[in-house]
């Protein structure tokens, strides 16, 4: 028996079998959860349907998180098919491509800043509001995906940094607001992983190598590791954890100067 047996999970953010959301969906399914998936647009529909078939064949629905009507439709369908919801996973982030390079100050526009925050941070709050009524009195939990760029500055992540900082603050305010209803709210801050959102990012390979060289575990993480920690956080094994940001990054966030860089080992 898995530790999520009979739990109902909605996972938002699968675009391919490399998506972090897919690692989370698979891990939750392995632990016995029933999994519903959403797809952002028709281009992604058939890929997400294939993913769904590979993790139990739960409900599959369209969802662009900038559209309030689509958010409402997802939760009315889940109310009809499941009647309630135990887990909501938000693994969505977006900023205009051209604002993810070069000078943060010069390249960040008012519209790009608003879009990054709308899609990457506000949408978690909007989904929580939609899920709230379905999550009453069942030790439900919400989870989002963040990145170290929300805590510290690094090249090119630019406007996504403030958006992740906003997302992590929202985790704490949502935990404060929903805790009295028994709903927990947490984030996993993942190390860099080659997904669609990482493709086309200049020097991503160099970043992966840098992270692997400096991290205490001397390697990068994969979507199964992020998925397993996410499944744990959304389970009763984590019943005392809320308002938390857990780093799944081989320890990279914990060090300022790696022994490796000084030639101390490896």
Closest CA to 127 of 198, 180, 178, 55: 178
Handedness of CA 206, 208, 212, 216 (dihedral sign): positive
238/211 Cα distance (integer angstroms):
28
| Contact set for ligand 0WE, span 140-199 (CB under 6 A) | 147, 156-157, 160, 192, 197-198
Task: Compute the least distance from the CB of residue 76 to ligand 0WE, in Å.
Answer: 29
Q: Is the dihedral of CA 144, 224, 13, 209 positive or negative?
A: positive
Of residues 64 and 138, the one with the C-beta less far from ligand NAD: 64
For the CB of residue 84, give the shortest distance to ligand 0WE in the complex, in Å.
Answer: 31
Cα distance between residue 71 and residue 30, in whole Å: 27
For ligand 0WE, the closer CB: 110 or 152:
152
What part of residues 197-216 is at the interface with ligand 0WE (CB under 6 A)?
A: 197-198, 200-201, 207
Query: Which partner, ligand 0WE, ligand NAD, none, binds residue 201 by CB below 5 to 8 Å per kind?
Result: ligand 0WE
Q: Which does 20 bind (CB under 5 to 8 A by kind): ligand NAD, ligand 0WE, none?
A: ligand NAD
Q: Does 133 bind ligand NAD (CB under 6 A)?
A: no
Q: Rounded distance, CA 246 to CA 118, Å? A: 23
Q: Which is nearer to ligand NAD, 6 or 129 (CB)?
A: 129
Buried b / exposed e along 161-181 (16+ C-beta atoms within 10 A): bbbbbbbbebbeebbeebeee
- Shortest distance in whole angstroms from residue 219 CB to ligand 0WE: 16
Token duo for residue 238 = 């984590």
**Residues found near ligand NAD in the complex (CB under 6 A):** 13-16, 19-21, 40, 44, 63-66, 91-94, 119, 145, 147, 190, 192-193, 195-198
């Amino acid at each position: 028996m898995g530790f999520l047996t009979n739990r109902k999970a909605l996972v938002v953010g699968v675009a391919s079998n490399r998506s972090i959301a897919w690692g989370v969906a698979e891990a939750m399914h392995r632990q016995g959860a029933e999994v519903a998936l959403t797809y952002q647009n028709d281009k992604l529909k058939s890929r997400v349907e294939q993913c769904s078939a590979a993790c139990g064949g739960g409900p599959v629905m369209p969802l662009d998180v900038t559209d309030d009507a689509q958010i409402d439709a997802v939760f009315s369908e889940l109310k009809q098919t499941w009647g309630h919801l135990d887990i909501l996973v938000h693994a969505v982030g977006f900023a205009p491509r051209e604002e993810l390079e070069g000078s943060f100050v010069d390249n960040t526009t008012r519209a790009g800043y608003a879009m990054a925050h709308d899609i990457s941070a506000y949408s978690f709050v909007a989904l929580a509001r939609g899920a709230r009524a379905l999550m009453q009195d069942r030790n439900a939990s919400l989870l989002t995906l963040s990145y170290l760029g929300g805590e510290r500055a690094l090249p090119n992540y630019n406007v996504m940094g403030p958006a992740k900082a906003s997302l992590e603050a929202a985790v704490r305010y949502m935990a404060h607001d929903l805790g009295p209803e028994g709903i927990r709210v947490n984030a996993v801050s993942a190390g860099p992983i080659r997904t669609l959102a990482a493709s086309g990012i200049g020097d991503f390979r160099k970043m992966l190598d840098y992270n692997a060289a400096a991290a205490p575990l001397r390697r990068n993480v994969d979507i199964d590791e992020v998925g397993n920690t996410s499944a744990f956080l959304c389970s009763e094994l984590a019943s005392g954890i809320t308002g938390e940001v857990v780093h799944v990054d081989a320890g990279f966030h914990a060090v300022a100067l790696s022994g490796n860089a000084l030639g101390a080992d490896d």
